[in-house]
A and B are shown apart, each in its own frame.
Chain A
Amino acid sequence: DSGVTQTPKHLITATGQRVTLRCSPRSGDLSVYWYQQSLDQGLQFLIHYYNGEERAKGNILERFSAQQFPDLHSELNLSSLELGDSALYFCASSGAGTDLKGTFGSGTRLTVV
């Protein structure tokens, strides 16, 4: 157990629908990063939150949004889903200072049918 909790582990939904993925970081970690991993691509950085504020955006589609709440858990919202959004979605958390590597959660496998 890495200490980073992602729910749900699996999600199957239809095109056009909206889903919410949840991530609880390790205790004490202020940063949450979201990544998407599809078969033909590596891990693609989507967005980074630090202590409730958005810090950086990567290749995140406009149909996707995220937020980090006061208790530091984060949610990634995916809307108007397309078949190509099927992927593994990982979140990673890290603390301040020397914790540079980040710790990954076990991921949410999203299948859009």
Chain B
Amino acid sequence: GQNIDQPTEMTATEGAIVQINCTYQTSGFNGLFWYQQHAGEAPTFLSYNVLDGLEEKGRFSSFLSRSKGYSYLLLKELQMKDSASYLCAASHQAGTALIFGKGTTLSVSS
């Protein structure tokens, strides 16, 4: 089967660091994606991990452990505009559809 779990909501303050966790169980696994989605808008790509380890991109980093079926998205120096839903998604084969978690709604306050 396929199952992706992530927390429903998280809150943080401006300037802080927040870690959004994601665990996955998929039949076959190719890679793990993170997307950001503002309310009513399209998801936008943030990161992709296929190998174990940390991928850093500016204020955002993503980590993957294939053996543990675990990933996290790390957001540093939080800004108000980072308030959004963060979607974890797994692909089980390149070129196939993504299986999404329900998303984590992050609220950043001043």
Q: Which residues of A contact B (CB under 8 A)?
A: 2, 31, 33, 35, 41-45, 48, 50, 55-56, 58, 88, 90, 94, 96, 100-107, 109
Contact = CB atoms under 8 A, between A and B. Distances in A.
B24 to A, nearest CB: 13
Nearest to B44: A104
Interface residues of B, number: 23
B48 interface: yes
B95 A94 contact: yes
Interface string B73-110: 00000000000000101010011111111110000000
Nearest to B45: A101
Interface of B: 30-31, 33, 40-45, 48, 87, 89, 91, 94-103
A107 B97 contact: no
Contact of B97 (A2, A41, A58, A103): A58
Given A2-B42, A42-B102, A104-B42, A56 B33 contact: no
A58 B41 CA distance: 22
B40 A109 contact: yes
A41 B102 contact: yes
25 contacts: A33-B97, A41-B102, A42-B87, A42-B101, A42-B102, A42-B103, A43-B87, A43-B98, A44-B100, A45-B99, A45-B100, A48-B97, A55-B96, A90-B42, A90-B43, A96-B95, A100-B31, A100-B48, A100-B91, A101-B33, A103-B45, A104-B43, A104-B44, A105-B42, A107-B41
Given A45-B98, A101-B33, A107 B42 contact: yes
A39 to B, nearest CB: 11
A64 B48 CA distance: 31
Contacts of A106: 41-42
A59 to B, nearest CB: 11
A71 B48 CA distance: 30
Contacts of B31: 100
